[in-house]
């Protein structure tokens, strides 16, 4: 498989995917998804929905997840611009609770992250603006929505924006508990 370069990250199941870009004087073209290639590297998720967000510089979205029975595995790609992308384990029963991985995703590289639905996801925009595309394994279910604060003291994420632009919902998430409190 020479279409994608696959890198497994420190959180189990989180995978960085770098597609092979075909460049010429016009720009580039690439394959961003191929079920057979993804299955060969262990990603066997059936995606049911594509979702796109557009955000301006300094916007921070997340950290979001959906609870059982509506976990959403995500294939996240920055189609335009640059983002600081985070997958975090917010499940107190998990051995990696409180851990996270960070990746910069750039439209010019078309890099992607595969994030299992057991993790929270968020990103902030580093470029003037960004278009982020997701493939999702389940649709949105408001009754299953959960989240963690971007500035949660348990996670200690060093977001690269001084004054992020955050939604009211994202400001309202409760702090995660230390394992001794959970």
119 in catalytic set: no
Catalytic hit among 33, 64, 70, 97: 64
- Burial per residue of 11-29, b for 16 or more beta-carbon CB atoms within 10 angstroms, e otherwise: bebbbbbebeeeeeeeeee
Q: 172 by DSSP, 3-state: which? A: helix
- Name the residue among 79, 85, 88, 122 with its Cα closest to residue 104: 85
Task: Characterize the bridge pairing of strands 112-115 and 100-106.
Answer: unpaired
CB 47 within 8 A of CB 135: yes
Catalytic hit among 100, 114, 119, 134: 134
- Name the residue among 28, 6, 13, 34 with its Cα closest to residue 111: 6
156 in catalytic set: no
Q: Enter the tokens of residue 100.
A: 């996270």
Residues acting as catalytic residues: 64, 134
């Amino acid at each position: 498989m020479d279409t994608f370069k696959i890198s497994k990250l420190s959180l189990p199941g989180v995978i960085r995917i770098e597609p092979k870009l075909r460049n010429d004087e016009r720009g580039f073209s690439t394959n961003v998804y191929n079920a057979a290639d993804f299955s060969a590297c262990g990603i066997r998720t059936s995606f049911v929905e594509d979702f796109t967000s557009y955000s301006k510089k300094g916007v921070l979205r997340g950290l979001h997840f959906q609870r059982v029975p509506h976990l959403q595995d995500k294939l996240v790609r920055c189609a335009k611009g640059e983002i600081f992308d985070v997958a975090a384990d917010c499940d107190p029963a998990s051995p990696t609770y409180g851990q996270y991985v960070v990746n910069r995703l750039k439209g010019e590289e078309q890099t992607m992250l595969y994030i299992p639905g057991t993790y929270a996801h968020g990103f902030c925009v580093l470029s003037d603006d960004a278009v982020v595309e997701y493939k999702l394994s389940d649709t949105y279910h408001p009754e299953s929505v959960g989240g963690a604060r971007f500035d949660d003291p348990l996670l200690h994420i060093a977001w690269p924006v001084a004054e992020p632009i955050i939604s009211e919902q994202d400001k309202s998430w409760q702090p995660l508990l230390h394992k001794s409190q959970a």
